[in-house]
Amino acid sequence: MARPYPPSTRATDADRAAVLALLDAGYADGQLDAAEHRMRAELLTDGRTLGDLDSLVEDLQDAAPPRPTTSLPPAGATPDPAARPRRFRTAAAAAAAAAVVAGIAAFWFASRGDAPALPAAPGATAVDLAALPPRVIATPDLRTAAGFAQFVDDYRAAFGDTVVDELTLFEQHGSVTLALPREPNRVLSYSYRYGFEPDRDPSTRGVDTPTVDLADVDRAGLDRILAEAPTLLNVPGGTISHLSVEPDADAGPLISVYVGNEFDESGHLTATLAGEVHRAYPFGQ
């Protein structure tokens, strides 16, 4: 019997190719628009675990990322017809989708030096990979305005809006809390690293809990306040350790920026969503 694998299991290239097929199908039938498809496909190449891959397709209809290819049924087992993907209703549709997916997947995975070449699908047009420019996908530092923008795009794709209770971002990961959809008296907490994963069970939330719309954050203002923070906080050579966005009972939604350096000198400040300093707590004062 095939063994189930936990979300932390390392994904194979075959797993990524299967999830790419689901993303392409979701784009083809209108569940994803072009921007969403492109964003998720780019995140796919950085996915390291089955949990990372599952987060990219868990909200799609009929999406069921396969188990690792090493999870095999016993020899001689009768194939289960119900296990075949339901998206491809006819042999003609399956062949067309396979040709498209094989062309895209061959381009992506051929750029990986450790990945085997994928066979061309029957009838697929040959692609001269040597003539194509290399594809390099950089993961932005989440403590920057570009990293914040990446998080907001990922959050919108995962949850359908940009409203949160609280958000904290470090260099490569973050945490966010939000109200349970259609149940404002319940709160969910997610960890974020190339995708979203619940880190604890839902808990009680006051229905009047204030929220923040991340779309209201001025990106240019955020970029400016992050650049100026070490100087404003009297932390020479300081770097941003993390930043957070949350409501304030008196001042409204605020961004908090925390700075430190190699001498254990640190300070922090709060700013409006427009990037104007609200209050500063410099080192030594």
DSSP letter for each residue of 57-113: HTTSTT--PPPPTT--PPTTPPP-GGGS-SS--SHHHHHHHHHHHHHHHHHHHHTST
Q: Give the pLDDT confidence of 66-96 residue by residue, as tens digits.
A: 555 444 444 444 444 443 333 333 333 444 4
Alpha helix stretches (DSSP H) within 111-253: 145-159, 219-232
Whether 177 and 284 map to the same domain: the answer is yes
64 falls in which pLDDT band (50, 70, 90)?
low
Distance (Å, rounded) from C-alpha 26 to C-alpha 21? 9
In a domain, residue 3? The reply is no
Whether 215 and 269 map to the same domain: the answer is yes
Average pLDDT over residues 125-137: 52
- Element holding 253 (H helix, E strand): none
Whether 152 and 270 map to the same domain: the answer is yes
131 falls in which pLDDT band (50, 70, 90)?
low
Whether 197 and 246 map to the same domain: the answer is yes
Q: Which residue has the tokens 């609280």?
A: 166
Q: Which of 182-202 are b and which e, b meaning 16 or more Cβ less than 10 Å from the residue's Cβ?
A: eeeeebbbbebbbbbbeeeee
Whether 100 and 146 map to the same domain: the answer is no
In a domain, residue 168? The reply is yes
Whether 56 and 162 map to the same domain: the answer is no
15-19, 187-191, 257-261: least confidently modelled range:
15-19
- Element holding 176 (H helix, E strand): strand 174-180
Given a contact cutoff of 8 angstroms between Cβ atoms, the answer to whether 85 and 93 are in contact is: no
31-40, 130-139, 148-157, 176-185: least confidently modelled range:
130-139
Full residue range of the structural domain in which residue 35 is found: 13-74+82-131
In a domain, residue 283? The reply is yes
pLDDT at site 268? 96
Task: State the total domains in the chain.
Answer: 2
In a domain, residue 6? The reply is no
Last residue of a domain, one of 109, 131, 153: 131
Last residue of a domain, one of 94, 115, 131: 131
Phi, psi of 115 (to 5 degrees): -100, 140
113, 199, 242, 255, 258 from 265: Cα distances, Å:
43, 32, 15, 21, 11
Average pLDDT over residues 98-115: 45
Whether 149 and 22 map to the same domain: the answer is no
Whether 112 and 149 map to the same domain: the answer is no
- Element holding 256 (H helix, E strand): strand 254-260
Q: Give the pLDDT confidence of 140-196 residue by residue, as tens digits.
A: 899 999 999 999 999 999 999 999 999 999 999 999 999 988 889 999 999 998 789
pLDDT at site 254? 96
In a domain, residue 201? The reply is yes
In a domain, residue 53? The reply is yes
Whether 120 and 169 map to the same domain: the answer is no
72, 162, 202 from 254: Cα distances, Å:
51, 15, 25
In terms of Cα–Cα distance, which of 106, 108, 133 is closest to 42?
108
In terms of Cα–Cα distance, which of 177, 199, 174 is closest to 188?
177
Whether 56 and 196 map to the same domain: the answer is no
In a domain, residue 1? The reply is no
